[in-house]
């Protein structure tokens, strides 16, 4: 049953679509993809062309907006909007530790999840588009991993696109995951240094917490094992505009005094868990390196291997040398599948995906070089999550792509100042800027 309801200024409709699990086997198993249609109540809102939003990740459903907040209000001036929960997320057929055993063992789960990358997401969009638009091409907006999906869309189904907009999500076209992380760790170090320059008192606070964790087994509510590497991974916050401030407030009152001495407070533990747990988005961890897989070379826990090339991230050495502890960012590693209860049952499945050697190519450089779709991309200078140099190289490889390179934002420009970011991208794509 289709449900339609209202929020201030908008009419929302729940849409559910059945799509093939494997688009190369359309007669086989089908899964469900959920999308939320959003239409402005302003006159003519229901007659506007369509914009489909592909969110970041992998592994997260589309943003749940209240009314016309953030960039959605600007989008609804020109479009009807379809917010898609990419396969496995949100209201779509779920894929997590609770549901994946229905597929069988780890091998069957890994084979199933191999169909959850950008190529399948784009084919879902193309299966859905005729029903939504009547066959007309639509505009697509991709944030972060959503931009990876848009780049694949331009490579393999540009006929479905009227315009393509990308924010913080131009991927390397040919680079291996190792190349991604060799570029990422120096950025993580710069973000750590910038945080300590802003909050010099956090140097000692971070060291005290790391020293405590090195000496005590700390299990957070729900069973998450907080180790020193897990604490370092709070650096994922540093990729957002307010992330340094959030990290500072998180660690400023970490300890409380008890009859047995100082311990990590309940409040600190709860706040850390809210950042580190992947219970709400396990596919982010399971598929994180798989989104870079192309060809026969396995990803093979790239972030973990490459980290060894950057000894300054060795917490033990930092503590021994009385050096500042470096935080890490968007880097999924094996220990997460031991620490996080939401990931532990998926450890072997993740191992099989890391060893996979038959990934299809995701991008077609020749087709991108001949692109005719209007494309605009916001590239955030020194973005912690997506390498600026990789993005600029890809921008040069896509014919007609116009860039907006800015240091006003971190990776979350669309969330931080969505109306301005979207307005700028639309102006660039339309040739009005």
CA 43/CA 185 separation, integer angstroms: 50
Nearest CA-CA partner of 331 in 292, 387, 290, 285:
285
Nearest CA-CA partner of 209 in 254, 153, 151:
254
Catalytic site residue from 120, 391, 411, 423: 411
3-class secondary structure, 19: strand
Alpha helices in 264-329 (DSSP H): 266-276, 282-286, 302-307, 315-320
Task: Yes or no: say if 292 and 119 are a contact pair by the CB < 8 Å rule.
Answer: no
Return phi, psi of residue 9, to 5°: 85, 0
3-class secondary structure, 258: strand
3-class secondary structure, 359: strand
Return phi, psi of residue 16, to 5°: -130, 135
CA 351/CA 298 separation, integer angstroms: 11
Beta bridge partners of 30: 20
Confirm whether 358 is a catalytic residue: yes
Catalytic site residue from 40, 70, 120, 144: 144
CA 167/CA 245 separation, integer angstroms: 23
Residue 54 token pair:
């592909």
Confirm whether 244 is a catalytic residue: no
CA 173/CA 151 separation, integer angstroms: 9
Q: 364: which DSSP letter?
A: -
3-class secondary structure, 181: helix
Strand segments, DSSP code E, in 85-154 are: 138-143
Nearest CA-CA partner of 417 in 380, 387, 391, 390:
380
Task: Say if strands 375-380 and 161-167 run parallel, antiparallel, or are unpaired.
Answer: parallel
Q: Is the peptide bond before 58 cis (omega within 30 degrees of 0)?
A: yes
Note the residue count of the chain. Answer: 433
Confirm whether 277 is a catalytic residue: no
Q: Which residues are catalytic?
A: 144, 358, 411
């Amino acid at each position: 049953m289709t449900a339609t309801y209202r929020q201030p200024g908008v009419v929302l409709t729940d849409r559910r679509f059945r799509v093939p699990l494997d688009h190369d086997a359309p007669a086989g198993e089908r899964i469900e993809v959920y999308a939320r249609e959003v239409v402005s109540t302003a006159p003519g809102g229901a007659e506007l062309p369509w914009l489909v939003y592909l969110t970041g990740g992998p592994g997260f459903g589309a943003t749940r907006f209240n009314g016309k907040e953030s960039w959605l209000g600007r989008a609804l001036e020109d479009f009807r909007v379809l917010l898609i929960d990419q396969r496995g997320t949100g209201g779509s057929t779920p894929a997590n530790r609770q549901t994946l055993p229905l597929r069988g063992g780890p091998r069957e789960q890994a084979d199933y999840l191999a169909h959850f990358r950008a190529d399948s997401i784009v084919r879902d969009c193309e299966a859905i588009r005729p029903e939504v638009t009547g066959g007309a091409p639509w505009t697509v907006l991709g944030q972060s991993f959503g931009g990876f999906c848009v780049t694949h869309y331009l490579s393999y189904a540009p006929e479905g696109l009227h315009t393509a907009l990308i924010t913080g999500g131009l991927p390397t076209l040919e680079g291996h995951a190792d190349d991604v992380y060799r570029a990422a760790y120096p950025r993580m170090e710069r973000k750590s240094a910038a945080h300590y320059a802003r909050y010099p008192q956090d140097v000692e606070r971070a060291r005290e917490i790391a020293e405590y964790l090195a000496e005590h087994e700390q299990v957070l509510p729900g069973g998450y094992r907080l180790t020193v590497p897990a604490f370092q991974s709070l650096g994922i916050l540093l990729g957002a505009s307010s992330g340094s401030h959030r990290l500072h407030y998180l660690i400023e009152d970490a300890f409380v005094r008890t009859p047995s001495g100082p311990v990590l407070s309940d409040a600190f533990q709860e706040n850390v868990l809210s950042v580190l747990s992947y219970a709400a988005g396990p596919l982010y961890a399971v598929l994180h390196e798989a989104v870079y897989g192309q060809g026969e070379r396995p990803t093979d826990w790239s972030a973990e291997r490459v980290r060894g090339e950057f000894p300054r991230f060795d917490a033990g050495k930092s503590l021994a040398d009385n050096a500042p502890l470096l935080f890490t960012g968007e880097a999924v590693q094996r220990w997460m599948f031991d620490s996080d209860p939401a990931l532990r049952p998926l450890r072997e499945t993740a191992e099989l995906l890391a060893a996979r050697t038959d990934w299809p190519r995701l991008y077609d450089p020749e087709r991108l070089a001949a692109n005719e779709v209007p494309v605009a991309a916001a590239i955030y200078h020194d973005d912690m999550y997506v390498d600026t140099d990789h993005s600029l190289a890809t921008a040069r490889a896509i014919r007609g792509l116009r860039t907006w390179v800015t240091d006003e934002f971190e990776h979350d420009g669309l969330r931080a100042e969505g109306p301005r970011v979207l307005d700028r991208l639309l102006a660039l794509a339309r040739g009005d800027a």
